[in-house]
Amino acid sequence: MLLKVLLALDPDYVENCFMKNIGPENKLSELIKDNSILQNSLNEIGISNFELTIKEAAHVFRVPLPILLKKISKQIKSNISSPKTATFKKGKPVGIKKIIAFHSGKGGVGKTFVSSNFAAFCNEKKLKVGLLDLDIDCPNIFQSFKINHTHIANEEKKILPYNLNGLKILSMAGIQDSVDTPIMWRGPVMTKAIEQLLHDADWGELDFLIIDLPPGTSDIPMTVMHMVVPDGVFLIGAPSDSAVTDTNKSLNMCTQFGIPILGIIENMTGEIFGKAKLNYHENFIAEVGLNASFNQDKAFAYKKDDDLASALEEALKRSLVI
């Protein structure tokens, strides 16, 4: 039963708990570590003493352990579908026609590479485009464009994105003191940062705001999907079994939020990592082979790679019709 409760949160969280042998005899503090949704859920059903074991909590409530776990599970699902603690601004920022997100279940599959190239590609097509780097922990968009810049605010105290030939780019990298400084923030601070980057920036009039989300299915992607609800999302994967599994997790999360899947692009295919493994999906757009020149071309790699350019052309067509 404990397994079913935790599965309501995240299968990876379950695996982590059971690797640590967490069970009914463990303290609640061990169970809720680094999981704000579970902690809030326990608070809302009246559990505040996290030094109790899971078994003791059931005794305090004078109910059998399975009944308590069902109650926790119900509260978790309620909080995930409609979090009561959200106090952030909701809705699309004024002046933005469409929000297009790029997401991956696994890190290191080239999501930022694709989102950066897509933004540059759309800008070249004379669309009004903004690119928002919401990978708060590891903001790499500036590196993709070889930018060294510190964001400033205008007279209205709105953050000014960096303007690269008409492409507006905003990243935590432009706010950090140093690119080597780690950002070690928890949920509420992250949420406030996302709100400011989205709503307190001077985006002006945009056809597309392209959001580069961090990998995974936890706080930041969920917060963004509650905060603005993207008009569509592109999923980025790679030809490894773990990347395929995590791409499917990403797809299921977006589906649960009702966000249209615009397409799946699979990076790094070829002789080294093998053939595409995600091409069985009906939304599969293209595979992009591993190419050493990408490390030099970065956000403008599409100018030299036909496969990438074709994938971006198809992605643009799908973005225009939603």
Chain segment 3-43, per-residue pLDDT in tens: 344 434 444 444 444 334 556 777 777 766 656 666 666 66
Decide: 161 and 202 in contact? Cβ < 8 Å.
yes
- Asked if residue 206 is part of any domain, the answer here is yes
- Whether the pLDDT of residue 203 is over 70: the answer is yes
- Asked if residue 91 is part of any domain, the answer here is no
pLDDT for position 10: 42
What number is the average pLDDT over the span 140-158?
91
Token code pair at residue 255? 């589906």
pLDDT for position 101: 97
pLDDT band (50, 70, 90) for residue 83: very low
Instruction: In whole angstroms, give the CA distance from residue 79 to residue 142.
Output: 35
pLDDT for position 36: 62
pLDDT for position 37: 61
CA dihedral 118, 121, 122, 127 (to 10 degrees): 150
Residues in CB range of 23: below 8 A, 6 or more apart: 2, 54
Decide: 72 and 24 in contact? Cβ < 8 Å.
no
- pLDDT tens digits, residue range 221-270? 888 888 888 999 999 999 999 999 999 999 999 998 899 999 999 999 99
Q: Assign residue 314 the CATH number of its domain.
A: 3.40.50.300
Residues 139 and 222 in one domain: yes
Residues 122 and 22 in one domain: no
Reported as half-sphere exposure (CB side, CA atoms, 13 A), residue 14 has a value of 11
CA 278 to mean position of chain CA atoms: 20
Instruction: Mark 242-269 as b/e (b = at least 16 C-beta within 10 Å).
Output: ebbebbebbbebbeebebebbbbbbbbb
Decide: 10 and 80 in contact? Cβ < 8 Å.
no
Pick the residue with more confidence: 322 or 311?
A: 311
- Asked if residue 53 is part of any domain, the answer here is yes
pLDDT band (50, 70, 90) for residue 1: very low
- pLDDT tens digits, residue range 62-79? 767 677 666 666 665 555
Which residue do the tokens 């003191």 mark? 177
> Over the chain, what is the mean pLDDT?
83
What is the percent of the chain with per-residue pLDDT over 90, rounded to a whole number? Answer: 49
What number is the average pLDDT over the span 191-203?
90
Domain that holds residue 24: 2-81
- Asked if residue 89 is part of any domain, the answer here is no
- Asked if residue 62 is part of any domain, the answer here is yes
Angle among Cα 306, 311, 313 to the nearest 5 degrees reads 90
